[in-house]
Amino acid sequence: MKLYWCRRSIPELANLPRKVRNKNYQDAFRMARTHREFWIGTALYFLLLLGAFELFDSLFPGEPGIERDIIRCVICVVPCVQLWTQFNVYIMRKYYRHILLRSTQE
């Protein structure tokens, strides 16, 4: 499975100007929210995030504090958001390839 690190790495958006690329991505993302798969992915994201927080707390026990909470959020949230984004790009490419490929603004 290919990882899409940014919008430019999505093949359908790669050769578009930034303004068109962002508009196409936002339109496809808005449309993807109507699919059951999006909401299943969102629920899995939150479950994974809770699991990551629990795993962090069990591997690195310590006193609660702002520094620890910031480190925990960075270590746990960033990978979970990346996975959620990959799931959303999969949905957009599967159902809304025609929106991602638009070359002009409407």
pLDDT, tens digit, for every residue of 34-85? 999 999 999 999 999 999 999 999 999 888 899 999 999 999 999 999 999 9
Cα distances from 73 to residues 43, 52, 79, in angstroms, run 18, 10, 10
pLDDT, tens digit, for every residue of 16-38? 899 999 999 999 999 999 999 99
What tokens were used for 15?
């050769």
Q: Classify burial at 89, counting beta carbons within 10 Å of its beta carbon; exposed 0-12, middle 13-18, buried 19 or more.
A: buried
